[in-house]
Structure 1
Amino acid sequence: MATRAKQRGMELRYDLTVLQNGVRVASAPMPHVDSVSIGVWVGAGGRYEPARIAGISHFIEHLLFKGTRSRSARDISREIEGRGGYFNAFTGEEATCYYAVVTAEHALRTTDVLADMYLHPRFAEEDIERERGVIIEEIMMYRDQPSHVVLEKLGQLLWSHHPLGRPLIGTPETVKEISRQDLLLFKNTRYVPGNTVVVAVGAVGHAEVVAEVRRRWGRIRPARRPAFRRVGRTTGQRRAQVIHRDVEQCHLAAGFRVFGRHDRRRYALKLLSVILGENMSSRLFQSVREKHGLAYSIHSSVRLLEETGVFLISAGLDRRRALDGWKLIVRELARIRRRPVGRGELARARDYTVGQLKIGLESSSSRMTWIGEQLLVYDQVLDPKEVVEAYSQVTPDDILEVARDCLRPRRLSVAAVTSDRDLKSRHLIQETGAIG
């Protein structure tokens, strides 16, 4: 089966072919470049993992670079880097992606390398033990970073007793628990055709990409996409935790549990985030940093998953006046829930968001991510022109409605890492009453 879509305004064209076993193969031409970004996307991530082996998706990501039946780790590096390319991978809550960027003449050979990593990893015991130590040191590195610790703690508060509330990378205890048998079982149940998308963007033809993917993946037996445990309703209880450490700043993260990625209100929520804290014109930046000088970094963002999401505010505050900084954040949350934003402010937020989208789609790697991630999670590629149109339809009343619904105190969790022993969790909770 093949489908084709063309987008003129933002010049996104792609071809999609679904192999008989369910592997989806997409390509998008960029004739003005001489490179190709190739990505292999798999629906495997933190929320699929049992508690005992939390971090196994990330562990597998590491091991796929350690060699296959026919290639050593050095061979893999030489075949890509030795031809002027680069490659990497990342693991999220719902997806893992292995990708490479190479010149056009090496695109099909690189696809073969990525297929070999996917299909025939060695998972040698000596590699597993060595990488286990590497990952534990990675965990320790993050534990030394208060900006990471506070986000990890916030996740636990937002999604307690659910896989989303666990560290994506795992803990030393769970990483030590993971066996070779665990790795093979997890990979074999999730790295399956119906759960795999291969994307190539750049100076490459669709037919040749499909032929190469069919040659390598076409003989795998069909298998369905595995399910994950869905998130239940929020308890309606505000949560806060302060971690006391010897740090120079107060690292604060506040999150509101919100809806998932399929909700039409996601466009209004994104513009709300831009207005509140996604750039230097935003309300939080202007108030907390520019006017009061209480932070260097302050930012808001939206992360949406299948059936849940988070509206996030993070800041590095003056540790001596952290509560004052939190009060300013609460004040801006209350203000945006109280009355509609001005049309000029909304127009600027919309222009910023659309501009960032257009700029992002100018690179082959960004287009590869756009296509691959959306095929995996939406089972279709969103038309950028329709996305822009959806943003254009958002009104000040839409922003007010989504702010009043999503930025409720009962949806809020907040975490802080600070050296101020006088700052307690109850102080953060007490201030949230002013949100309204």
Structure 2
Amino acid sequence: MINKTTCKNGVRIIHEKMPYVRSVAIGIWVKAGSLDETADEWGLSHFIEHMLFKGTSKRNAKTIAEEFDRIGGDINAYTSKEMTCYYTTVLDHHAEKAIEILSDMFFNSLFDEEDIQKERSVILDEIASVEDTPDDDVDERLWSVMYPTHPIGRSIGGIKSTIEKFDRKMIRRYMSRLYTPENIVISIAGNYDEKLIDSIGLQFDSFTENEEIKHITDKPLPVFTSGLITKQKDIEQAHICIGYPGLSLRDNRLHDLILLDSIVGGTMSSRLFQEIREERGLAYSVFSYYSSYMMTGSFVVYGGTSPEHLGEMQSAMEKIIGEIKSKGVTETELINAKEQLKGSFLLGLESSESRMHRNGKNELILHEHKSIDEVVALIDNVTLNDVNRIAYETFTDERAISIIAPKSAALLPLNHMMK
């Protein structure tokens, strides 16, 4: 059972007891991501995520790491387009110590200028590593094509020109604007007692937002844009992403799209995997995925192949997409996709950390918690007509393409790519 406690300042504590495990997962979720950044703040959400590990008034970065090692716990964080999450998983009897360290990091980080300069270099290296990883780089470039004028199309890590300007003042101002009680959810799952919830309440219910900081609440709606972006560099493989308009998290057809993704390229029995890898041997890695946010979403097909097979693989991809759009999927494919999705969903909830992540995101973004039975029912209730309809609506001529290929590769003519 998922329980909710709201602190007097508005911070929400979501907790789910799992008495049969020996662990507790704790996450601090903040509704602050790359979508919330101005052009000058591009990458600041991710930068702050890094800086919270660099030291407080009573712990330096090494001490934070050592203390979590001492209690046998893992600590990590990530930034997305819509949120930032700081989380840990520890043995149940170390839960109060873990939340004490997390809250110290959250409230008392120093943002020392020397540490800022060091982390600036680390993050620039991280960005360079993405550019050196073409299957990641091709995806980030695709988003810049799909949403070229909206923050959702920006990379989460930022760019060199903005990162070089970040300082303590910018960090403090951004956090004053977005690290506010109503934007914070504490999610706990595992074997805990009520004293832990009381302890968290005491540590998080005393801070308030800065009244002098005006909140930026109005965000323009992202508009999907067709287009093509190519990049040639000294690599062995060619990589391609084809993106289509997707669905937002609010859309009641989202489970239709999730099942379509499974059939198209989400599993080893999917159309893309079977035809492009198993039958034709064109690629080792080929798949599809969907991304859904509160404002919009996307459906993406990816493949990596040798340069001489790029054109053939793209044609095969678009042939498969075209056949699904014109002829639909089969009843057997839908049944298999439903069972695979239910299995993935249910098996994924067997750990305290997975439950903590599910509950934290649902509370922060959706403000609701569907039961396991409700989610299974939503999957079971999807019909063949539902999936075929969403395929027809998704796979339009409006699409974006991103390609990264060796310098020696002869890319197909641009007009062919966008036909």
TM-score range, shorter chain: over 0.9
Q: CA deviation at 1:428?
A: 5.0
Assess, with a 3 A threshold, how the Cα gap between structure 1 residues 222 and 186 changes in structure 2: closer, same or farther.
closer
Q: CA deviation at 1:409?
A: 1.4
Which position in structure 2 is the counterpart of 1:324?
Answer: 312
Assess, with a 3 A threshold, how the Cα gap between structure 1 residues 425 and 40 changes in structure 2: closer, same or farther.
farther
Amino acid at match of 1:49: E
Q: CA deviation at 1:257?
A: 1.8
Which position in structure 2 is the counterpart of 1:217?
Answer: 204
Choose from 196, 221, 226 the match for 1:231. 221
Q: Percent same amino acid among aligned pairs?
A: 32
Choose from 110, 130, 149 the match for 2:118. 130
Deviates more, 1:421-430 or 1:190-199: 421-430
Q: CA deviation at 1:68?
A: 1.1
Choose from 248, 264, 267 the match for 2:252. 264
Q: CA deviation at 1:376?
A: 0.5
Distance in 1, matches of 2:372 and 2:175, equals: 33
> Which consecutive residues of structure 1, in runs of 5 or more, have no partner in the other structure?
1-12
Q: CA deviation at 1:318?
A: 2.3
Taking the TM superposition and a 5 Å limit, the aligned residue runs for 1:16-415 are 16-205=4-193, 207-221=194-208, 227=217, 229-235=219-225, 238-410=226-398, 412-415=399-402
CA contact (8 A) 1:49 1:163 kept: yes
Distance in 2, matches of 1:283 and 1:394, equals: 20
* TM-score (normalizing by structure 2): 0.96
CA contact (8 A) 1:253 1:312 kept: yes
How far does the alpha carbon of each residue in 1:99-121 deviate from its partner, in whole angstroms, 9 at most, with x for none?
01111111011111111111111
Distance in 2, matches of 1:222 and 1:389, equals: 40
Q: CA deviation at 1:231?
A: 2.4
Q: CA deviation at 1:221?
A: 2.0
Distance in 2, matches of 1:304 and 1:384, equals: 20
CA contact (8 A) 2:222 2:295 kept: no
CA contact (8 A) 2:32 2:83 kept: yes
Amino acid at match of 1:193: P
Amino acid at match of 1:416: I
Q: CA deviation at 1:78?
A: 2.1
* TM-score (normalizing by structure 1): 0.92
Distance in 2, matches of 1:163 and 1:48, equals: 8
Structure 1 segments of 4 or more deviating over 6 A? none
Amino acid at match of 2:36: Y
CA contact (8 A) 1:41 1:198 kept: yes
Q: CA deviation at 1:259?
A: 2.4
3-state SS of 2:286 partner = strand
Amino acid at match of 2:220: R
Distance in 1, matches of 2:102 and 2:18, equals: 21
Distance in 2, matches of 1:232 and 1:65, equals: 33
Assess, with a 3 A threshold, how the Cα gap between structure 1 residues 246 and 94 changes in structure 2: closer, same or farther.
same
Q: CA deviation at 1:427?
A: 5.1
Distance in 1, matches of 2:371 and 2:295, equals: 21
> Which consecutive residues of structure 2, in runs of 5 or more, have no partner in the other structure?
none
How far does the alpha carbon of each residue in 1:291-327 deviate from its partner, in whole angstroms, 9 at most, with x for none?
1110000111111000200101111122101111000
CA RMSD in angstroms, aligned pairs only: 1.5
Assess, with a 3 A threshold, how the Cα gap between structure 1 residues 225 and 380 changes in structure 2: closer, same or farther.
farther
Distance in 2, matches of 1:398 and 1:71, equals: 54
Assess, with a 3 A threshold, how the Cα gap between structure 1 residues 254 and 351 changes in structure 2: closer, same or farther.
same
Number of residue-to-residue matches in the alignment: 415
Q: CA deviation at 1:151?
A: 0.9
